[in-house]
Structures are given as C-alpha cells and as structure tokens.
Structure 1
Amino acid sequence: MSEFSVRAVAEGEQRACLDVLSQALHGKAASDETWAKMAPSWPAAGKFAAFDDHGTPVGIASSFETELTVPGGRKLATAAVDGVGVRADWTRRGILTAMMAAQLEDIAARGLPLAALHASEGVIYGRFGYGAATYGKSVLVERPRARLRDGVGRDGMVRLVSPAEAVECVPALYRRFAGERPGFLARPVMWWPGFFDRIVTGDEGYRVAVHSGSDGDDGFVVYQTIDQRDRQAPERGALLDIREMHAATPGAQAGLWRFLLSVDLVSAVTGRGRPMDEPIAALLTDPRAVNTTEVIDDLWVRLVDVLAALRARTYGTAEPVVLEVLDRQLPGNNGRYVVGPGGVDRTTADAELRLDADTLASLYLGDGLFSDLVTAHRVEVLDAAAVARADVLFHTARAPWCGTFF
C-alpha cells in the first residue's frame, strides 16, 4: 500500500489539485479554457494536499482569507474553506483527517481566529470543531396568487443589466451590504471571476436585475427562468429561480420581490437558502402563497482562537457565565472563559456549562439556544441557572445568514 504525505501546495500544482477535487465531487477535470478562467481564483496560498509516494496529489483542502461579520458588526478575519476532497481510491486511509489537521494548524499559525465552510455532508466536520452556525430556507411563492400589499416595494425602480454591466456594478453593490447581520461574508477580489464566469456570463440563462432607491443602486438579484412545459401541460408557466438576492434596505428587498412577482409567463418563484427571517409572507395579501419547502444548514464555523473570537462579538444583557471549552484538535483553546456584556477573559472560576468546540461554534453567531443543546446532550450543565443567562448572552435578534457560496 502506498504511503502519503501532506504538505502545502506549491505554485504550479494547483490545476492537478483542482482535478482531484473535481473528481472527488463527481465533476469533470477542467479544460484548458476553464482552467485559464479559474486560475486567478485558485492560487496556491491556503491550500494543503496529500501526495502519494510518486508526488501525485490524491487529496486537497483549500481555503482563502476573507472576513466574517460577527454579532455586533465587527468583521473578523476568517479562513473560508472552499474545497475538501480525497480521490476515490485513496479514501478511508486518514487523508482527510491529516489534511484538516494541517490546515487548522496553518490557520492558527497565521493568526486567523475563525474558519468557515459549507459542508457537503452533515456528519463530517463536527469532529474537526466546526458547527452549523447559520441556516437558510427554501421558498416557493405561487403566482398569480402572490400579490403584494398596496405600497409595498414601490419606493424605487428595478432595471435589468447586461452581463458586462453586472461585472462592473454588482461587486460594488455587494460591498454596500456589509452591515451588521451576523454571518455575512466579505467577497475578496479573487472570488468574483468564478461567480461571473459560471453564473452571470455563462450559458445557463441567468439574468441580473438591480434595484435603485433614493440613494442610488441598493440591491440586486440573479435569477434564471426554467421552462416547465410538457405535453401534458403545454401552457404551464416557467419557474423563476433565484440564484442570489441581496439588498441594503428592507425597501430594496421588497422592491426586488415586487419585480420578480411581476415577471410574465411565470407560475412560481423559488429561492434556496434564503434568510430564515426574510418576511416574504408579510409582504403579500395572501401569506399562504408562500411555502417553505426546506430548511438547510448553511455556513459552518470553527473558532480557531476561542478567546479572540469570543472577544470580537457583543453579547446580550445578562450576568456573566463561565464556559468550559473542550477542543481536541487545538488544545490551546481548552479551558474556562467568563463571558458577559462587559467582555470575555480566561478564568480559573468553576465552570457553569461545559461544551465541545463544535457546539460553541454552532452558537457563536447567535443562532439556536444553549437550552436546546442541553436537551440534545451537547451542553453539560454544572449550574442550572447559567443556561438561561447563556441564552440571553449569545442569542441575536436578527437571524445570522451568510448568502455566499464558496
């Protein structure tokens, strides 16, 4: 049996590593043309790979540096893990574990307090300290049943833009949305080419519409229409599917929904991974025209530096609580932390609640409650009075949401 080694990817090795990732995810190797477009977005930096004894890559763990908004609005340096895979004939040999360990050690050495990813499977990444920290809902809005209430979404206008215009205006618009919603991910320059090449300027029929309000452009939506006609239903309207939608204000959001629901020859509008607190039904005269068809985990977060991450966010008004954190991958995080509205510090005081790193990560952005995870036996209670205080301290009024796939 061949041995393997894990090391940082060197310049010139990226394409072979991308082919490993594509194969692991049941995709095709990149053509010369595709690689020429992708290369600027896939640098060697932040990548670790497993190599066989001939120097051929058989596994890859990739990341890039960005910023994540945490409760209170601070933007915290984050390693976005954008690809992990092992070649099919090399699985079940410890390669994934070795690559994730090397990646975490590197992220910690670079001083990044957080890491984040989208999990292909829900059972893999908890053992590496990641927890599902944001969720999204899939919605289906029926037309013509869905009519907006009088006045909703009328403060502004929407225009369709060409792919060339979208390349110019959409990144700048997205930067306007970097508000205080926890989970919001900054998109570095290297993220955008892949988005435009695959979605906006591709051949799948995506369109881009921009909303303008009193202060100028303040929202955009990327969508495609899917033909649903067949021999049994030749007059069936198309399905309008939202790829992504972002807005700087609730009014801009409502204006984009008004536009989507006004497109002719459409029987329904769908969107996947929308914010859990997006009030679509409240905009309509018939709230039953909106159906939530799925709730899915979205962004998984990992506290690489627990103290720095806890200190970066704000907390609700409650008496402090002492947490004991257990981190098997990064033992430097092990210990007790006193968390309160006035700040966070390490402490030698008796722990009131004990939890693993992945559980803390799932609560970090403000989604979920300690009390629910007590019921799930993911939080050990040493002082029953601390549970309610922890709920108040960590939970946020606005649901965390990412809205960026990577």
Structure 2
Amino acid sequence: MSTRSASPDDSGAGETEIIRLPARRTGIIGRVSDYAIRTLDGDDVVEANTLFRAALHSRPSEAEHRAEVRAGYPAGRALGVLDGDDLVGTAMSFPSALAVPGGAVRSMAAVSRIAVRADHTRRGVLTMLQKHQLADLAGRGEVFASLRASEASIYGRFGYGVAERIRSITVRSAIARIRPTVPRVGHTRLVDQTRIDSLLPALYERIGLHRAGMITRPDELWRARFLGWRTSSDLIRTAVHSDADGTDDGFVVYRTAKDGSGFTSFLEVIDLHGATPTATRELWRFLLSIDLIDSIKVMMQAVDDPLEWLLTDRRAVEVTGVEDATWLRILDVPTALAARTYAGGDAVVIEVEDPQLPANSGRYRIDGEGAHRTEEPADLVMSVAVLGALYLGDVAPSALACSGWLTATDETVLARADRLFRTTIPPYCGTFF
C-alpha cells in the first residue's frame, strides 16, 4: 500500500501532491543521477494514474474505482521514475496495432499517461522515461509507437513525427438538414449504457481497421474509456446503427450539457465509427434529429470528412480548428517500410538517422514493389521523426523539404518521393488514448 500526502490546502490532486511507493531493492531498470526508473505493477499503477491526473490539474480517481483504474493498465507496460521513494514521473503504453497504407496491420504501442511532477520538470525525468520506454518497446518487437502530445515541442526529439491531423467542427443544428435526395438506410437506436461494455468492443472490431491510421483497441483501453464515461458528470448516451439486414455497423457515443439557462443543450460527439460511409451518414442523421440541441461539436473528425456535402446548407458546419493528432514513432524502420504499399514510379533511396535506436539508421531503397536496405547513395536524408510524419501519407516529402526538415539531391527526387508516398485518402485514427 502506498501513501499519499496532499497539497497544503488539502484540496486533492494538486501539482504539489507527493506520492510515495513502497521501498524496493529489486525491479530497478536504470538510474540517472538521483533518479531510479522501474516497471510499475499492482497498486503502483493506481498511484501513477494519480500523478498523471495531477499533471492535468485533475483530482485522483475515487477510492472505490481503484480496481478499475488498475484494470486499465496492461501488465508490465507502466514505468515510474523515483526520487528516493517519491514517484516523480510516469509513462505507460497499451498494446495495439496500426493500419498502414495498403491495408496491412502491424504492432504498435499506444503511449499514454506521461507525466512529470511539477517540482521535477526540466531535470531529465521525461528524457529518462522516453529513453527506457523506446528501448523496451523496440525490445518487445513492436513496430510503431504512437501518442497524443499535450505540447507540440516535446516529442520530436525522441523520434516522433506528426503523421495525422484532425479537424474540430461545430454544427448549427437549427439549419443542418440532410438533403432529401439522400436515402435513409437501416435504423439507429439508443442502447442501454449498462450494455456498452459488451457491445462496443465487439462492434468496433467488426467495423475493422478500414483506413490507414486506425488502431486496434485492447481490453485495457476499453476499460479506461468505460470508467471515464461512467464517472463523468455529464449525461452520456450511446446509439448504434443497423444496416438494412439488421446487422450492427456503426456507433456513436455522445454527451449533452445545458447551453445557458434555457431549454436547449449542446451535444458533443465523443466516439463515432461506421463500417461504411452509409453507416456514418445515418449516425449523423440521428444526431441531427435530436430535439432541443442548439449545436453539435466534434473535436476529433477526419480532415476529409464529407459531412457538409450531405447537408442542404453546408454553412451549417463550421470548422473551428485543425490540429495534430497522431504522433508516430517508427521503432522498426525496415519492417515499417516493407509493410506499406507505394504508388508506382521510379525508386528513391532514403537515408534515415535514428540516434536513439541506431539499428534503424541506414539507407533504404523504395519503389512501387516495396522497400529494403541498400548501400546505394541516398537521394533524401531525414530523421526518423520526419519519416514518421511521411509514413501514413498525411504530408508530402516536398513540403517537408521546403520547410527544411529533410534534404534532397534535387527537385526531381522530391517529385518521385511525393508520388511514392502519396495516398488516396489522408490517415485517420479516431481513437484517443
């Protein structure tokens, strides 16, 4: 059992909260200066979660939910940095898999819950966590790591590159109507929130990874999501769409909250996935039909989503922002490059630099048939972070060359590289972790 001392005002999970773990002589996997790092297990992960929530200026989970918090941590995948017995930094990952261009799926670590205690920032704690986590994940044979960055300036130096962008939108419900010529297909129904634990994981798996950037959701990730939804102060509901044959093929989880002092509320989409464009369209038809909703907000929508094209008044959809989502770290460059497909055209040779995982460094020949190591002279030179940004097809090599992120021997090389890495649709993950 660990002990926790609250901040002086005893207000809960403040930045000054001190978390102490039981003293152990075993399990230490590294030391830097006064800090030790070890794998966390048992109740230690609950304390790690408390530290993470404190970094977000949130209170810890209630004591009654400790078992559920623990169940949201996969065994052996949480790290803690200690100053003596004080937990001052943490990071973890979920075992997942990533769909890449061409439809192949390869192993991926969904990195999450990274936190450093406020009085230990900028002392190398995050670097220590990242160094050991990357080595651990690569040692497990995982091909990719991915995370969502709270700050854009942090993770590039650890080999992560922005591989996917998302848009946020606000829909004015009063004028948002699906065009009458768009046929209604199937049926959308509300489901009991007590049933979603058994319903949604199977439905998400059935929907499948039909787009580059999508990821599998392990049980621990679902448990964490369900706990968050159950303990939310907002009213959360779930609707499921069935096709014309009665087969479930899409779902939406959303929350509603009062919009001022009147009768109307706003609705925020939390999680929406359809196996087909038709299923997604019909889920939107349902959302737009809900009475007393002034606006619908989506914080995580694909940048190419066609919602406005479905409506009689496309100006009912306001794009309120576009931001980075997937930060991709390639842990095994040869396997990653060989896994995805490339458009036809002449070959290019890229040189990849990866100081953290030097086995990745080297030259790779890429053409329409695939990719492999080579000793040929390099046409393009880039860091592993830049390769991560290029990998899913969200940004062209020429754009990164113009901004100084990679070097090319000449302009014709960039045209060839653009053609090879180009994809028909941009990547989209649709899962926050």
Which TM-score tier does this pair reach, normalised by the shorter chain? over 0.9
Partner residue of 2:241? 211
* Paired letter, 2:302: P
Partner residue of 2:317? 290
Partner residue of 1:34? 65
Counterparts of 2:141 and 2:151, CA distance in 1: 28
Partner residue of 2:256? 225
Partner residue of 1:238? 265
Q: For the Cα contact (< 8 Å) 1:72–1:180, is it kept in 2? A: no
* Paired letter, 1:277: D
Task: Say which of 44, 51, 54 aligns to 1:13.
Answer: 44
Residues 170-319 of structure 1 correspond to what in structure 2 (within 5 A)?
170-199=200-229, 202-215=232-245, 216-230=247-261, 234=262, 237-319=264-346
CA displacement at 1:297 relative to structure 2: 0.8
Per-residue CA deviations over 1:131-185 (Å, capped at 9, x if unaligned) read 1111111111112211111242511111001112222221111112223301101
Residues 2-401 of structure 1 correspond to what in structure 2 (within 5 A)?
3-52=34-83, 54-152=84-182, 154-199=184-229, 202-215=232-245, 216-230=247-261, 234=262, 237-401=264-428
Secondary structure class of the residue paired with 1:155 = coil
Q: For the Cα contact (< 8 Å) 1:8–1:49, is it kept in 2? A: yes
* Paired letter, 2:64: E
Secondary structure class of the residue paired with 1:243 = strand
Scaled by the length of structure 2, what TM-score is found?
0.89
Counterparts of 2:108 and 2:186, CA distance in 1: 35
Which of 1 and 2 has higher RCO (CA within 8 Å, sep 6+)?
1
**Structure 2 stretches of 5 or more lacking a match?**
1-32
* Paired letter, 1:74: A
Counterparts of 1:384 and 1:162, CA distance in 2: 58
CA displacement at 1:199 relative to structure 2: 1.3
* Number of residue pairs the alignment of both structures matches: 401
Q: For the Cα contact (< 8 Å) 2:80–2:91, is it kept in 1? A: yes
**Structure 1 stretches of 5 or more lacking a match?**
none
CA displacement at 1:381 relative to structure 2: 1.2
CA displacement at 1:130 relative to structure 2: 0.3
Q: For the Cα contact (< 8 Å) 1:206–1:223, is it kept in 2? A: yes
CA displacement at 1:269 relative to structure 2: 1.4
* Paired letter, 2:79: F
Q: For the Cα contact (< 8 Å) 1:184–1:403, is it kept in 2? A: yes
* CA RMSD between the two structures: 1.6
Secondary structure class of the residue paired with 1:77 = strand
Per-residue CA deviations over 1:368-394 (Å, capped at 9, x if unaligned) read 111111111101111321111111111
